[in-house]
Chains A and B, each alone.
Chain A
Amino acid sequence: MENYITLTIDNREVTVPEGTSILQAAHKAKVNIPTLCYHEDLCVAGNCRICVVEVEGSRTLTASCSTPASNGMVIHTSSPVVRNARKDIIALLVSEHNTQCTTCYRSLNCELQSLAAEYNVDNTRYLSVLKPNIQVDRSSWSIEKDDSKCVRCQRCVRTCSELQHVNAITVAHKGKDMKISTFMDLPLNEVVCVNCGQCVIHCPTGALTERRYYDDIWEAIGDPNKHVVINTAPSVRVALGETLDYPPGQRVTGKMVAAMKKLGFDSVLDTDFTADLTIMEEGSELLLRLKKAFRDKENVALPMISSCSPGWVKYIEHMYPEHLDNLSTCKSPQQMFGTLAKTYYAHKIGVKPEDIVSVSVMPCAAKKYEANRPEMKASGFQDIDAGLTTRELGRMIRQAGIDFGKLEDEKFDSMMGDSSGAAVLFGATGGVMEAALRTVYEIVTGRPVPFKNLNIMAARGLEKIKETSILLKGCKPEWDFLEGVELRVAVAHGLKNARTIMEQIKRNESPYHFIEIMACPGGCIGGGGQPIPTNDAIRKKRIAAIYAEDEGKEIRKSHENPEIVQIYKDFLPEGPLGKKSHKLLHTHYTKRNRY
């Protein structure tokens, strides 16, 4: 049985379970203690010392994040000695900081800036100890690293290690020279980094940000010779609102479309369309692999693993290059979109593909890298010209002076703008699995998946690894070899959990046929390009919005999307996995170094 303890925080008694930190206990007493190195996703570091409080009887102040509350403690969180100490610590951080806040991308969304403002810290209290000549690392397509804005809270390092198990960044050197560094302080594009951008959404300041490309987009929009198409990923519509003063979990699909039209894009399309297309191709690929395994008894790589998440793809390329065959050959929805924008779409509207600029808005930092992978030129041109984050789109809307709240809802343009509810699910962990099962089961049995209201609850939620199985019964004659097969599937999100799955595969102990892996905790709704802050409470709200969006759709299965039916009829007549699909919609992978 849990033991409870009682303590006094700012003259208020509070009872909490033993082991609760002072910070959490204060939270329960409705007392807010400022923090900086603390992040609810990560283990406690206790190194910024902002959250110090006074514990009666203690010679020193106490870090509330790292100290367990104990019975009878009497705590003051805002006494003069605490406030002075905090103010001093903030002043120290400011003295180490590049304080050109006016030109910082994170201005007004910076935790150090807020603290300095709250405590009215001026930056003349101490001499500047900012190191001179710090170069911003812009080597990566995805992530920008500016050490002059680093507060050394190590949230990025803990993220890269605890959540992602990549360890691309580390704490290096000590004392005054201590800094966050890559191996040998190499540029980010030369080290084992998967570009997931989780460091970016966990960074309290502007030290780690996404590479921004919206200025290029403005240029393209302003160029009368360019036809600029934009597509938005499923999870953007449930998070964009947060960058425009809406609370988390608000769906803003219609307003988002309206805003993009106002921004001047020639066509506003939906990545959800290619998400549906992905299900057609990936589902067919899964069935082909099952056919080879069960009917032809061929040696085929199973489990098959999803390939929509470019952070995950680069991770497996680095960490498990020997298992690249397990990866679905399907391109991600973004890249399928790009290819089709410059082939199918260009042809239909009669614009030369070289005049098309294809832009995507993604919840993701890795998509920027993916767009620039050398093999992503199936259309004969760079398929996606630029990938923006949700945050960048929010920034563009603000720059344009659009009163977002007052916009009337609008609809995506046609041809590649229609989508099913299944496609929307891609935004949350488990969504690709759920969407795939809705289609695959129906292809095999001719009946809808046997779940109430098509909702596959076992694939949903924030559990580290989710697994379920579906018994294939009453299969159509052409799939009779699957009769009685229990299709076993798993879903993992966050690369640390992906590693668990991969180690199982490596040991040859994986019981699954199909696995969905997303690089980011929570899936795309928690992606590295999403609004800051992101934490589990916010992830859950965005996830709820995804499921609401699905339920609100008339069509909820990818294969029933009329534009999907249309494209296979008009452009991909051989159907999924046909020659043309193979050329345009599938890809190959590269073995990379693990160390």
Chain B
Amino acid sequence: MTLVESTVTELTLKYGKERRQLLPILRGVYEKFHYLSDESMVEVARQLDISSAEVFGKATFYSFLSGSPQGEFVIRICKTIVCDMKNKKLIVDTLENLLKIKMGQTTHNRKFSLCYTNCLGLCHKAPAMLINNEAYTDLTPDKVRQIITSYKNR
């Protein structure tokens, strides 16, 4: 059994094989592999007995279910209006310089990915970002440097 097969099997054992479990299962696959590969989508299709095109169609609807390989830590910077007003640009520049990648890219060591996201619901503490499931707010370049350093050491 490949890792993909065993992962999907674990997830279908946990959630069941009904169509309505598709999202939790895809989320589980994403958390394990940091993206949804074609292989994993076909495997989900097989175990839920739906077409792989359907799985693809559902997965691409949701912006957190990336179809391309992501780093271990996905940094999502809020690009919506208040963060934009509160100097999101400076935060983005800082991150791009620190990680030596551009928005939308992943570091060579597959540790970090940088991307934009829509409103994080942290507008009163803008600018804000998520690193995986952790929220970071009231960002300044200094603060960003500290945060990234702490992640680099993980």
> Residues of A at under 8 Å CB distance from B?
166-174, 181-184, 191-192, 594-595
Contacts and interface: CB of A to CB of B under 8 A. Distances in A.
B53 A182 contact: yes
A183 B51 contact: yes
B42 A170 contact: no
A518 B51 CA distance: 21
B52 interface: yes
24 contacts: A166-B51, A167-B50, A167-B51, A168-B51, A170-B54, A170-B57, A172-B60, A173-B60, A174-B60, A174-B61, A181-B53, A181-B57, A182-B53, A183-B41, A183-B42, A183-B51, A183-B52, A183-B56, A184-B41, A184-B56, A192-B53, A595-B42, A595-B45, A595-B51
Given A183-B41, A595-B42, A170 B53 contact: yes
Given A183-B41, A184-B38, A595 B52 contact: yes
B152 interface: no
A191 B51 CA distance: 10
A166 B54 CA distance: 10
A176 B24 CA distance: 26
Contact of B61 (A166, A173, A184): A173
A174 B57 CA distance: 9
Nearest to B57: A170
Contacts of A191: 52-53
B46 interface: yes
Contacts of A183: 38, 41-42, 51-53, 55-56
Contacts of A182: 53
Contacts of A168: 51, 53
B60 A169 contact: no
B56 A181 contact: yes
B56 A172 contact: yes
A173 B57 CA distance: 7
A183 B45 CA distance: 11
Top 10 A-B pairs, shortest CB-CB distance: A170-B57, A167-B51, A183-B53, A170-B53, A595-B45, A183-B52, A172-B60, A173-B60, A595-B52, A172-B57
A318 to B, nearest CB: 10
Interface of B: 38, 41-42, 45-46, 50-57, 60-61
A127 B46 CA distance: 43
A170 B56 CA distance: 8
A169 B50 CA distance: 12
Given A174-B60, A181-B56, A595-B52, 14 more contacts: A166-B51, A167-B53, A167-B54, A168-B51, A168-B53, A169-B53, A170-B51, A170-B56, A172-B61, A173-B60, A183-B38, A183-B53, A183-B55, A192-B52
Contacts of A170: 51, 53-54, 56-57
Nearest to B58: A170
Contacts of A594: 46
Contacts of B57: 170-172, 181
A594 B49 CA distance: 9
A208 to B, nearest CB: 15
Contacts of B42: 183, 595
A216 to B, nearest CB: 31
B24 to A, nearest CB: 20
A195 B38 CA distance: 23
Among B45, B50, B52, the most chain A Cβ lie within 10 Å of the Cβ of B52
B59 to A, nearest CB: 9
Contacts of A171: 57
A179 to B, nearest CB: 9
A191 B56 CA distance: 12
A188 to B, nearest CB: 11
A304 B55 CA distance: 33
Contacts of B60: 172-174, 181
Contacts of A181: 53, 56-57, 60
A184 B40 CA distance: 12
A210 B38 CA distance: 28
A170 B45 CA distance: 13
Nearest to B63: A174
A519 to B, nearest CB: 16
A581 to B, nearest CB: 37
A184 B56 CA distance: 7
Contacts of A595: 42, 45-46, 51-52
